[in-house]
Amino acid sequence: MNKTTATGIVKPLRQRIKDLETINEKHQKINGKLQQQVTQKDKKIEELMERINNPLKKMREDGEL
């Protein structure tokens, strides 16, 4: 393989690496947001389940009784 061929291969590979790094950064941000949403929804589900299973306790805590 001569020098010209090696340079011709390396440049596109470097660009591809940069592209993949950009994609990875965006993926990590989106993944973090989704994890937060899942955590918030899990918490809400737990609250609703507790309210269903123990309505009097929740009403007392909220000052409804």
Alpha helices in 1-65, H assignment, sequence order: 3-53, 55-61
- Cβ neighbors of 50 (< 8 A, separation 6 or more) are 57, 58
Note the pLDDT of residue 19: 98
Instruction: Provide block-wise average pLDDT over 10 residues at a time, the chain (65 residues).
Output: 69 95 98 98 93 77 68
Q: Count of CB atoms within 10 A of residue 51's CB?
A: 14
For residue 49, the one-letter residue type is M
Q: What's the rounded Cα separation, in Å, for the pair 18 and 11?
A: 11
Q: 59, 65 in Cβ contact below 8 A?
A: yes
- Could you tell me the residue ranges of all domains in the chain? 3-61
